[in-house]
């Protein structure tokens, strides 16, 4: 596969642990397009050669397989431009939310303070309609720039269906334009949200954020906590003692440990909780005997 992408920044057998906040995974191949033109060519090559691919931001809500990932990873980390015109801000898909908030605080632009401390990038944040503390990113979106079928599309907010930790955006998100407002004490308010996050979540441990989606009627973390499952372990994977909605990696967890722990939680609670994390463990290379390879 490397020969097909010899003109691009293509890297083989990358340690997947280094590409995600869970610090779990085997190996995979990753490519870094420098701009939209390269991205379009890479996607075209993939489609022509029937190569499956996934789009990766900061890997803050993904679970990679223990062996070799069969899909090509396309990283949008170089799509990191920020353009500010008064209160409208264009943010590239690869922009880190920490850095974005730093820029916004310097310009006294308010609205996204709730996102300070989320270890993700804008593309994934928009795709999953990320949020926290009663806010979601869709509240501030003016339009989203998408690559679909080789064409660049600008889609207005009203044409996109957003729901809790989900959207119907079809295509590769390149960036988005936000409607923000000028405010006071932006940096201080960001820090307040971050302090609340530090107090309630296992921020210092390896995790992929909230494992299960919640809704108005079902709050998985509360149910898991009430069942006394905090601290339950399967090898290196553990239900966080600080927040029952998180599974943390104690340093040597495997994807299989996380999967078994998820199954145990569902069994013990009697709820088939829907995953909020993106599970790529089905995209694992298998040899002829059916065993996974690493």
Say what the pLDDT of residue 294 is: 40
pLDDT for 34 beyond 50: yes
What is the SS3 string spanning the chain?
A: CHHHHCCCCEEEEEEHHHHCCCCCCCEEEEECCCCHHHHHHHHHHHHHCCCCEEEECCCCCEECCCCEECCEEEECCCCCCEEEECCEEEEECCCEHHHHHHHHHHCCEECCHHHCCCCCEHHHHHHCCCEECCEEHHHHEEEEEEEECCEEEEEEHHHCCEECCEECCCCEEEEEEEECEECCCHHHHHHHHHHHHHHHCCCCCEEEEECECCCCCCCHHHHHHHCCCCCCEECCEEECCCCCCEEEECCCCCHHHHHHHHHHHHHHHCCCCCECCEECCCCECECCCCCECC
Question: Alpha-carbon distance 90 to 140, whole Å?
Answer: 12
- For the segment(s) 82-186, the CATH number from 3.30.10.20, 3.40.50.150, 3.30.465.10, 1.10.357.10 is 3.30.465.10
Average pLDDT along the chain: 95
**In whole angstroms, what is the distance from residue 170 CA to residue 41 CA?**
19
Residues 166-192 have a mean pLDDT of: 96
Q: In the CATH scheme, what is the code of domain 2-75? A: 3.30.43.10
**Is residue 2 very low, low, confident or very high in pLDDT (cuts 50, 70, 90)?**
confident
Q: Where does residue 135 fall: left (phi above 0), alpha (psi -120 to 50 degrees), or beta otherwise?
A: beta
Of residues 2 and 97, the one with the higher pLDDT is 97
Q: What's this model's pTM, rounded to 2 decimal places?
A: 0.93
| Residue ranges, CATH 3.30.465.10, the chain | 82-186
- Where residue 90 falls (left for φ over 0; alpha for ψ -120 to 50; beta otherwise) is beta
Residue 158 phi, psi (nearest 5): -70, -15
Mean pLDDT of 88-109: 97
Domain with CATH 3.30.43.10 in the chain: 2-75
- The mean pLDDT of 37-55, rounded to a whole number, is 97
Cα separation, 13 vs 223, in Å, equals 40
Among the residue ranges 54-63, 136-145, 187-196, 279-288, the one predicted with the least confidence is 279-288
Could you give the dihedral angle defined by the CA atoms of residues 45, 279, 121 and 162, in that order, rounded to the nearest 10 degrees?
100
């Amino acid at each position: 596969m490397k020969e097909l992408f010899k003109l691009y920044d293509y890297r083989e057998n990358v340690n997947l642990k280094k590409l995600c906040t869970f610090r779990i995974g085997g190996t995979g191949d990753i490519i870094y397009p420098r701009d939209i033109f390269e991205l379009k060519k890479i996607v075209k090559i993939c489609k022509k050669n029937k190569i499956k691919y996934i789009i990766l931001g900061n890997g803050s809500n993904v679970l990679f397989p223990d062996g070799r990932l069969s899909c090509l990873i396309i990283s949008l980390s170089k799509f990191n431009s920020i353009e500010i015109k008064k209160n409208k801000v264009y943010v590239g898909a690869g922009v880190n939310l920490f850095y974005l908030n730093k820029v916004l605080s310097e310009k006294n632009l308010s609205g996204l303070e709730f996102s300070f401390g989320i270890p993700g990038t804008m593309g994934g944040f928009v795709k999953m309609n990320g949020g926290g503390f009663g806010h979601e990113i869709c509240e501030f979106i003016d339009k989203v720039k998408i690559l679909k079928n080789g064409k660049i599309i600008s889609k207005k907010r009203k044409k996109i269906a957003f729901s809790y930790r989900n959207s119907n955006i079809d295509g590769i998100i390149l960036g988005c334009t936000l409607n923000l407002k000028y405010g006071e004490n932006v940096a201080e308010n960001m820090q307040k949200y971050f302090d609340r996050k530090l107090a309630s979540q296992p921020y210092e441990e390896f995790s992929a954020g909230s494992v299960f989606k919640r809704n108005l009627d079902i709050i998985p973390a509360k149910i898991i906590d009430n069942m006394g499952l905090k601290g339950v372990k399967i090898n290196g994977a553990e239900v966080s003692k600080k927040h029952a909605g998180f599974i943390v990696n104690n340093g040597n967890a495997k994807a299989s440990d996380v999967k078994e722990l998820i199954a145990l939680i569902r069994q013990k609670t009697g709820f088939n909780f829907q995953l909020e994390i993106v599970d790529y463990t089905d995209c694992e290379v298998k040899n002829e005997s059916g065993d996974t390879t690493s």
